[in-house]
Amino acid sequence: MADTGNAVKPSSSVKLVLLGEAAVGKSSLVLRFVNNDFQENKEPTIGAAFLTQKCNLPTRTIKFEIWDTAGQERFASLAPMYYRNAQAALVVYDLTKPTSLIKAKHWVAELQRQASPGIVIALVGNKLDLTNDGIGNGADGDGAGSDDSGDARKISTEEAKTYAEEEGLLFFETSAKTGYNVTEVFTAIANAIPETSLKTTRGPGASHAAGRTEEQRVNLNGPRDPNAKEGCAC
Amino acid sequence: MLNLSSFVQKAQQLLDPTQGLNLSESDRNPSKASLFQSQFRLPSSQHPLYEITAELTIPPANATQGDRDRDRGFQYAGKLHLSEAYLCFSTTPSSFQQSASTSSSSIFTGQTHGGGPSGNGFTFPLCAIRRVERLHSQTFQFALSIATWNGISQDAAKEKDKKDLKEQRITVQLAGTRPACERFCDGLKKGLRANVGNVGKLKKVTAECYSEYLLRPEDKKNASPPDAGLGMLFKYPGDPKKLRDRAKMRLWAEYLRDNGRNVTLIRQPTFHKLIRVGLPNRLRGEMWELTSGSIYLRLENPTLYSDTLSKFSGRESLAIDEIEKDLNRSLPEYPGFQSEEGIGRLRRVLTAYSWVNADVGYCQAMNIVVAALLIYMSETQAFFLLSALCDRLVPGYYSTTMYGTLLDQKVFESLVEKTMPILWEHLVKSDVQLSVVSLPWFLSLYINSMPLVFAFRVLDVFFVEGPKVLFQVGLAILRINGEELLDAADDGAFISVLKSYFARLDESAHPKSENPKLRAVTKFQELMVVAFKEFSGITHSSITELRLKNKDAVLNNIESFAKRTAIRNLSPDSKLLSNDELGALYDRFYGVLYERQQRDHILKQEQARRNKSSRSRIAEVASEGDHGIEKGRVGLGPSTSLMDYDAFREFLAGMSKWAISDSPTTPRREALADKDKGFYSSFKRSDALLSPWGAGPEPADHEFLRRLFQKWDADSSSTLTLQKVVSGLARIKGKRDIMGTISYFFELYDDDGDGKVDREGILRMSEALLFLSRRGLEGTLSPSNSTLTLSEGANAGQNDVPGQSVNERFLGSVSAFIRRCFEYADPDHPSNQHNAVREVQEKLQAAQLKETASEELASPDAFAIGDDDDDDDDDDDLLAMESPTGSPKQAKRSDVPGDQQPPELQLNSVQLTPDEDDLALRRRVSKAQSEKANIALDPSNPLHITLPTFRMVVLADELLEQFFESSFPTSFHIIDNLGSSNTPTSASSLTTFSSLGIGAGRAVNAALGGAPVATAPAVGRGLRGVLDNIVTDGMRVAAEVRRRMEEAQKELEKNALPGQRNDEEDEEDEDDPAGGERSSGAGKGVAYGGDPERRSVRSSDRDLLTGADAEASGTSRVGDGIVTGDLSVDGAGPSSGSGAGPGKVVGVEFDG
């Protein structure tokens, strides 16, 4: 569709896997990124869901093949099946649930040890809208700072950020509900993927993407209008 | 009776291949009972008691199908089976040979291959049978006319009503020898009588069946119909017109009218056909329940669901938290689940199930499956159907490791490889993982893959024919989409091909066909045809075989993943251990748990075999909580992640040689203490395999082990997790820091955590040191010790093992340890320690306490069995409890005080009867008190040592220092195995005072022999460690006494007396070298019996004594005089004994 304009740019696909505790919003993040949509009662993912979405970088186009995995603990043993060959991973936790960060750390450790070397990992604290600094509550969009007085926030930005820096992870706090920071996560990942590890698209036969081919982006400055669409600014 | 039968049931489940993937050795040889249960979908409480070839005749009025024979109705030849509560008939005779393999059995089981109620016939609960009459038959010896309660309203069955009703009556002709028929009929009679009481339950169960309402005459239909699911409130999915629901309902009503409803339904060919075309909405729930067999579970315990809910009302659990997360997201597109009503039902069913099957708890996907069930059935029905699913139809799918799911994915992949090699090759080449696509199909039974209406059609067949249906449908999906899939080059493309296929299932399969009939065939119909025609070769048995083949690999995968994860998720202190060590610990930890469970199972199976004869008497058994799933392996679920004390002992015995018992007494009472003693005692001796410790060495049960367990069990839950074990070991082995190890050891004995260890604790510490060292020390130890040069010459000549001398010297170190501890101990009341007398008193008291400790260790049985005087009976009894090898000698020497019973038994006993010990202890103490004129025992004079003192005392001795620095941490062999040569179990190889020091024993006894108060029993209690301590302690105390006597002889005339006497006698003994020779000779001849480990009595004795002397209270008196003095005071200890001859002491020591 809209990628005709990008035809000249090199296109490559990146396998990305989402991991994290149950109900932290993995599927919602993907849904926001792929369809710019949000469902209050998203069915739990059984096994894993597969979606694709393109991200246009200035020099190239990245087609994300997103594996959205089930979060329940017992599904953990299935995860290797999904993160196999993944070039990027989103490890998601719930800002309002301390246990979910512990689980996220476990996943990071698992990935660092078992996944393909050089995998780009982003640590994402979701549900920012439930905190005071969440833009969903009308706070400043840049408010994802150290303010820890958020209503439901249980994990301070520092804590997670420090951990992310130690482990060399990308770090974001997002809200799938409002769309805040969601696209940034994927864009940052796209930028972090080393050029060398990119393979070219597998060809037209593979383009049965479930999602739209045009990348969606939530305007950072217009949080109350999550449907605003823009080309990828990166 | 109940107890027995539940064991039988458990055992049967163990043998059952189709329930749970217990693919143990019995899987290849499924039991007759399991085949029977799976063919008729009966609960595991049912066993095939009688079977007989028979012919079923359905009278013309009932026969609706086939070539109706006007005169004789419809006839089927098959087999009639009788179980405890069911009478079953099937035209597909399953071969229930005892050792039949699944495949050979299933040859006979027709379409469903043993996996379901196939063929034609019935499964009547005996309580549904109203009357059985014997008919006079020309052609057969026996013909039974069976009338059921079908359609007869049991509450208000007036005669008039009955006449209106058509009674369901069938005839069964038995074909067998007369005795066989008689037997069957007798069994039936008994069964019928026994099941009369269940009619009430049956009524309850059938009241929830929609068929009862459906077949009710129109004039009585005013009552509200039974709950046929949320669909009655929120409409059933799909367009009823398109589904031709009305027509289907009419057909079913007719069928049920003719062939019986719910439990009294007779399966004829039409039944299977009607199911294949799709069940009508309102009957769907009932038929699912009937064909899956969950209705029989409900019949067994109709109130289980409501009982469970009320029992656990208000309780919280992890599963409930997980359930709550998903309630709003289970089939959210169905209106019923947008309402509180539907969500409430879903919550209750999932919660109740998580309580009755806590091992499974809640797994995502269950919410979707249960939500689907609830559209068609009541909560209770859904609850039982969920049980049937988890236990039998899709075993292991929802377990915590989901091994069933993963296994079936492997099975599916191998089926694809076999049936569609080109597609498989394509998948491999394009690196597409099939299971990422197919796993959700299986896990949610296609419910959220296909549109609901079609998923339910699959379920209709699935419940009759079993799990193979999931495979058949899956294969058919791939086959139909094969061309397109071959074009798909990656996961994404692959997924979207299938996604769009599922979305178009209701479209015509042949839209361009000229033939309108062909055009009318939907893609779904095509799918069903391909699944069941083209893949008819996929049978229950082929699935079972593939499962067997792949099981190990799948479990290994899961386990290595689990291991990796578990190790990585351990707390940071685990980093003190290496990764290899953690891995080995993990293996050991779960290895022990697994072994123990397996042994437990074997015990149960054995028991089941023994009870087989009584099985026919087994009454109905509630099957709740029995899930028949193999446990133990990590890959199978979480059933055993906790280690109790016995498992802990076994765990340690695999790592540390000191944790191995010195006197294997398989099987011991206490080993089974936590189990049903009476139950196991009957066979526990029958088979070595049934040893409570399996093939491994029997673990010791020493106070030290118990303390270690308690220390590691940080939250006092009486169980250890892997984390606790790792944390515990990390502190010992991790840092290799002597100060840490010393503190750790001290903490073990600082019961109240106040930084002080009292007198009792000091003695126990030294006891533990001896316990830990008795099989020799490991680690880096200096080869010699300057303070012990005296013994070097002697040892050099006699030691086969160079390290032995170190081990021997260690005993000296321990005795020095005790002495120093008391020397440097702080009094609890400083005012009490104002003079030397006090000090001596304390030490004497310590010695006495030492003996009390040993008393405590003594077997309480001694008091029961002992026949001699008080002071001897300990020994007698201990002898009696020794292993049989030495018994003749021991018997002869039963009066000998110096037997060397290893400490385990006594320790065990202590726990069993503390009172008795306590009594004995007090008796001794008071005795001693009087004899000592109260100088020794002063309870008002307690003392303790602190950690710094302890540390100082340890560091003061090179060997002790080395012990804590190296030997103790090294003694936990996490990675390397204990070689069998390293783990001698005989007491003779132990490094102990008694085993080393014949002379010591002899000298002691010689000294004691003449002592006014004979202490022999205290010495010869047989507790190796205790003995050692007493000897040492005695020596030390004696030295003190002597010194004190010399300093204040006049003041303490009374107390000096025994000491002097002993002194003299011992001096004689010591002065006479021949005496020493004699004793050692006696040792050789009588007791050691050629034991290569034996030592020079004299030298080791000296060694020890010198060691003690060198450190003796700072006095300059080193020499025989003091030695003898020591011993004599020891002899003055509280327990009097028979005069102990030197040879005797030895004789008992080495019976092991």
> Both tokens of residue B965?
């620095």
Q: Which of A74, A97, A103, A111 to mutate to test the interface with B (most CBs of B within 10 A)?
A: A74
Nearest to B369 by CA among B444, B441, B460, B305: B444
The answer to whether A81 contacts B367, with C-beta atoms less than 8 Å apart, is no
Distance CA A204, CA B93 (A): 56
Q: Which range is least confidently modeled, A104-118, B433-447, B639-653? A: B639-653
The whole-number pLDDT of residue B1036 equals: 61
Per the CB < 8 Å rule, is B489 touching A202? yes
Task: Residue B1003: name the closest of B1065, B948, B1093 by CA.
Answer: B1065
**How many angstroms separate the CA of residue A114 from the nearest CA in chain B?**
10
Check CB contact under 8 Å for B364 and A75: yes
A198 reaches B (C-beta below 8 A): no
CB B450 within 8 A of CB B505: yes
Amino acid code (one letter) for B355? W
What does the pLDDT read at residue B1043?
A: 62
Q: Give the chain A residue nearest B409 (alpha carbons).
A: A78
Q: What is the DSSP letter of B1139?
A: P
DSSP label at residue B305: H
- B263 within 8 A of B300, measured Cβ to Cβ: no
CA distance B249 to B454: 18
Q: How far is B639 from chain A (nearest CA, A)?
A: 14
Residue B478 host element (H or E): helix B468-480
Rounded to the nearest angstrom, the minimum Cα separation between B972 and chain A is 29
**Does A204 touch chain B if contact means CB atoms closer than 8 Å?**
no
Give CA–CA dist B19/B12, Å, rounded: 10
**Interface membership of A78 toward B (CB under 8 Å):** yes
Alpha-helical segments (H) within B612-737: 645-653, 677-681, 703-712, 722-729
* pLDDT bracket for residue B71 (50, 70, 90): low
Structure tokens at B953: 């005392």
What secondary structure letter does DSSP report for B163? H
Substitution target from A21, A45, A50, A53 for chain B, most B beta carbons within 10 A = A50
B1027, B994 Cβ separation under 8 angstroms: yes
Could you tell me the CA-to-CA distances from B831 to B244, B395, B835 in Å, in that order? 101, 72, 10
* Binary contact (A82, B436; C-beta < 8 A): yes
Residues facing A56 on adjacent strands: A61
Q: Taking the model in full, what pTM does it have?
A: 0.69
CA dihedral over B717, B718, B723, B728, signed as positive or negative: positive
pLDDT, tens digit, for every residue of B862-913?
A: 333 334 344 443 344 433 444 444 334 443 433 434 444 443 333 333 343 4
pLDDT band at B972 (very low <50, low <70, confident <90, very high): confident
Give B565's contacts in chain A (Cβ within 8 Å): 76, 106, 110
Residue A225: pLDDT band with limits 50, 70, 90? very low
Residue numbers in A near B365 (CB within 8 A) = 44, 46
Number of residues that make up chain B:
1152
Judged by average pLDDT, the poorest of A27-31, A142-146, B465-469 is A142-146
Which residue from A139, A147, A146 is spatially nearest to A161, judged by alpha carbons?
Answer: A146
Residue range A38-53: average pLDDT? 82
Determine whether the interchain pair A77/B326 forms a contact, defined as Cβ–Cβ distance below 8 Å: no
Q: Which two tokens stand for residue B979?
A: 């070689």
Is the pLDDT confidence value at B493 over 90?
no
Q: Hey, are the CB atoms on B436 and A210 less than 8 Å from each other?
A: no
Which phi and psi angles does B687 have, rounded to 5°? Answer: -150, 130
Give how far B646 is from chain A: nearest CA, Å: 29
Residue pair B11/B605 in contact (Cβ under 8 Å)? The answer is yes
Say which DSSP state B390 is in.
I
Interface check A202 vs B, CB under 8 A: yes
Which of A50, A80, A202 shows the shortest C-beta gap to B561?
A80
- B458's tokens: 């699959």
> Per-residue pLDDT averaged across B247-257, rounded?
91
Average pLDDT score, chain A: 78
* Total beta-carbon pairs less than 8 A apart between chain A and chain B: 114
| Structure-derived torsion over alpha carbons of residues B560, B565, B570, B573, reported in degrees to the nearest 10 | 80
Counting residues of chain B whose pLDDT is more than 90, the rounded percentage is 20
Tell whether A57 lies on the interface with B, counting CB pairs under 8 A. Answer: no
- In whole angstroms, give the CA distance from residue B1132 to residue B744: 36
B402 vs A72: CB contact, 8 Å cut-off? no
Which residue type does B952 have?
M
Listed in sequence order, the residues at least 6 apart from B687 whose beta carbon sits closer than 8 Å to its beta carbon are: B606
How far away is chain B from the Cα of A53, in angstroms, using its nearest Cα? 11
| Cβ-based burial of B1092 (10 A; exposed 0-12, middle 13-18, buried ≥19) | exposed
Please choose, from the candidates B27, B79, B21, the residue with its C-alpha nearest in 3D space to the C-alpha of residue B51.
Answer: B79
CB contact under 8 Å between B493 and A81, yes or no, is: no
Q: Under an 8 A CB cutoff, do A205 and B568 touch?
A: no
Instruction: Let me know if B831 is exposed, middle or buried by CB neighbors in 10 A (0-12, 13-18, 19+).
Output: exposed
Which residues of chain B lie closer than 8 angstroms to A204, CB-CB? none
Check: complex ipTM more than 0.95:
no
Option in B328, B402, B493 nearest A208 (CB): B493
Report residue B688 as tokens.
Answer: 């070595």
**Alpha carbon of B493: minimum distance to chain A alpha carbons (Å):** 5
- The pLDDT, as a whole number, for residue B967 is 80
Using CA atoms, how far residue B1103 sits from B705, B785, B1097, B1099, in Å, is 30, 11, 10, 6
Lowest mean pLDDT of B649-663, B763-777, B1057-1071, name the range: B1057-1071
Rg of chain B taking only CA atoms, in angstroms: 39
Q: What is the band of B526 on the pLDDT scale with cuts at 50, 70, 90? A: very high
> Which of A4-18, B228-242, B748-762, B782-796 shows the lowest mean pLDDT across its residues?
B782-796
Rounded to the nearest angstrom, the minimum Cα separation between B636 and chain A is 12
> How many CB atoms lie under 10 A from the CB of residue B981?
6
CB neighbour class for B1081 (10 Å; exposed up to 12, middle 13-18, buried from 19): middle
pLDDT attached to residue B1054: 52
Query: Which residue from A minimizes the CA distance to B449?
Result: A46
| A22–chain B Cβ distance below 8 A for any pair | yes
pLDDT-derived band at B602, boundaries 50, 70, 90: confident
User: Could you say which of A48, A73, A210 has the minimum Cβ distance to residue B436?
Assistant: A48
* Chain B CB within 8 Å of residue A70 CB: yes
CA-based end-to-end distance of chain A: 20
Q: What is the mean pLDDT of residues B719-746?
A: 82
Structure tokens at B24: 């143990």
Which tokens is B310 given? Answer: 């009320």
Structural Rg of chain A based on CA atoms: 17
> Which ranges in B166-317 belong to alpha helices (H)?
178-194, 199-207, 210-214, 231-234, 240-243, 245-259, 269-276, 281-292, 294-300, 304-311
User: Regarding predicted confidence, which is higher, B1151 or B230?
Assistant: B230
Residue B122 φ then ψ, to 5°? -150, 165
Mean pLDDT is highest, among A22-26, B1037-1041, B1042-1046, for A22-26
B221 band by pLDDT with thresholds 50, 70 and 90:
low
Q: What is the pLDDT of residue B460?
A: 94
Distance from the B651 Cα atom to the nearest Cα atom in chain A, whole angstroms: 27
Question: Would the CB atoms of B401 and A67 count as touching at under 8 Å?
Answer: no
Tell me, what's the pLDDT at B793? Answer: 38
Per-residue pLDDT band at A50 (split at 50, 70, 90): confident
| Mean per-residue pLDDT, B457-480 | 94
Cβ contacts of A205 on chain B, cutoff 8 Å? 487-489, 493
**Are residues A24 and A100 in contact, defined by beta-carbon separation less than 8 angstroms?**
yes
Tokens of B388: 């049937």
Residue among B402, B431, B435 minimizing CB distance to A75: B402
C-alpha distances in Å from residue B576, one per residue of B585, B651, B715, B976 = 13, 20, 21, 18
Contacts of B491 in chain A (CB under 8 A): 50, 65
- Say if residues B289 and B381 touch (Cβ distance below 8 Å): yes
List the alpha helices (DSSP H) in B208-244: 210-214, 231-234, 240-243
Q: Please judge whether B433 and A81 are an interchain contact, meaning their C-beta atoms are less than 8 angstroms apart.
A: yes
B-chain CB neighbours of A42 within 8 Å are 329
Q: Which of A23-27, B199-203, B1053-1057 has the lowest mean pLDDT?
A: B1053-1057
Is residue B398 within 8 A of residue B627, CB to CB? The reply is: no
pLDDT averaged over chain B?
Answer: 70
Interface residue A48 vs chain B (CB under 8 A): yes
Q: How far is B501 from chain A (nearest CA, A)?
A: 13
Instruction: Please state the rounded mean pLDDT for residues B469-491.
Output: 93
